[in-house]
Structure 1
Amino acid sequence: MNHGALKEVPWTLEQTPMPESGSPAGVTGLPAGSPVNLDTVAAFARSFGFTEQFRINVPQDDKGVYTVSADSMDADTTSPTGDHTVHIDRYTGKILADVRFADYPLAGKAMAVGIALHEATMGWWNTLLNTLMCLSVMFISISGIVMWWKRRPAGSLGAPLYPRDYRVPVAIMVLGLALIILFPLSGAVIALFAIIDFLLPKRLKEAGFQSA
């Protein structure tokens, strides 16, 4: 139900079949006999739980429906638990589908919450958390350079040497495996550098790159 770059409904619902207008299906929505148009659909949405910002997609053909939606991905709601999508028959005003956060599968709930956390739209504490995360990445980047500078071989710009009896800790291997699974491109970079390290002559790795 999403078209191109325009996200008309949450990602969790974009592969959901669109209901069609013109059948006896559905449950009571707009009052019987009332016209079904943009104004009456908007008024009904406000009385049906859409208390924050929401959007309405109008029917595109004879079988199209009115779709009322609000989700945190589009910053309509302040929390993903407020996600709400309703499809309304353009002729009868009946509700053909009413999907809320509670109806999402586990993966859909995790995605909705994850996007909100990533975009820091869940309140001041979320903004603070994301700020701390950004600062931690900056700290890791700067401290990594400092540690390399302190441990580099004397008179060299090469990498610090491993002890001859060095073994990779199990915890590091587990973290690396988790990183590869969660971030495949990062895993590809790790694999690339491992191959380069393996192919480099031992004398280069032991001596480092001598500075001028």
Structure 2
Amino acid sequence: MQIAEKNNVQPGYGIAFPDGETGVYTIFLDPADVYPNRPLPWAQQTLHIDQYSGKVLAKFGWNDYGALGKLISLGIAFHQGEFGFISQLFMLALTIGIIMIVVSGVIMWWKRKPKGKLGAPALPENFKMLKGVAVIVIVLGLFFPLVGASLLIVWVLDYFVIKRIPIAKQWIG
């Protein structure tokens, strides 16, 4: 506790005890736990302390984060609603945006779908972006493996099942 005070760790911190002979004491301050009504991401602090000598081995805080670390920390704070009403408005705007994307997607599909079929609209004749879209889909499928796996399953079903069943091919397109 004296080491925490010497290193200006704000009151309300937690202490994790060493795990085994090579473990360290960890003093950490999570602003959401300490200031539930007004947590500030830049108040985060972490100290790692040698269990034998009491020497501070590492000290991390907001100023030690890089730009990406700060951005991620702010994103988490917004996601968890730590900015109060501003966070709520931001999340409401995101939710409305997602709903609008879904609704507009269904409307666009409905307007372009083939008559009497459930399937996808035909590609425009001068569709030059197909290769670029395919590259983007493959890259995103690699970065987001579950999305990539689901796209692969749909492609396999389409290629090996739907195209082989005449009624399904005619109705789905």
Counterpart check, 1:207 vs 2:166: no
Is the contact made by 1:87 and 1:95 (CA closer than 8 Å) also made in structure 2?
A: yes
Instruction: Give the TM-score of the pair, scaled to structure 2.
Output: 0.65
In structure 1, what is the equivalent of residue 145 of structure 2? 184
Can you list the C-alpha shifts for 1:61-108, whole angstroms capped at 9, x where unaligned? 787654320136x65573433321123456765534322233346765
In structure 2, what is the equivalent of residue 115 of structure 1? 76
Counterparts of 1:137 and 1:52, CA distance in 2: 40
Q: Which structure has more helix as a fraction of its residues?
A: 2
Counterparts of 1:56 and 1:109, CA distance in 2: 24
Is the contact made by 2:10 and 2:29 (CA closer than 8 Å) also made in structure 1?
A: no
Counterpart check, 1:49 vs 2:12: no
Query: Identity across aligned pairs (percent)?
Result: 30
Match of 1:67 among 18, 26, 43: 26
Q: Secondary structure at the match of 1:201?
A: helix
Can you list the C-alpha shifts for 1:140-197, whole angstroms capped at 9, x where unaligned? 2222222222222223333323345544446534542453243221122222223333
Is the contact made by 1:121 and 1:127 (CA closer than 8 Å) also made in structure 2?
A: no
Counterpart check, 1:137 vs 2:65: no
CA RMSD for the aligned pairs? Answer: 3.9
Q: Which structure 2 segments of 5+ residues have no match?
A: none
Within a 5 Å distance, the mapping from 1:1-212 to structure 2 comes to 41=1, 45=4, 48-51=7-10, 53-58=12-17, 66-71=25-30, 75-76=33-34, 78-88=39-49, 94-104=55-65, 109=70, 111-122=72-83, 124-163=85-124, 166-169=127-130, 172-173=133-134, 175-199=136-160, 200-201=162-163, 207-209=170-172
Q: Paired residues, what number?
A: 168
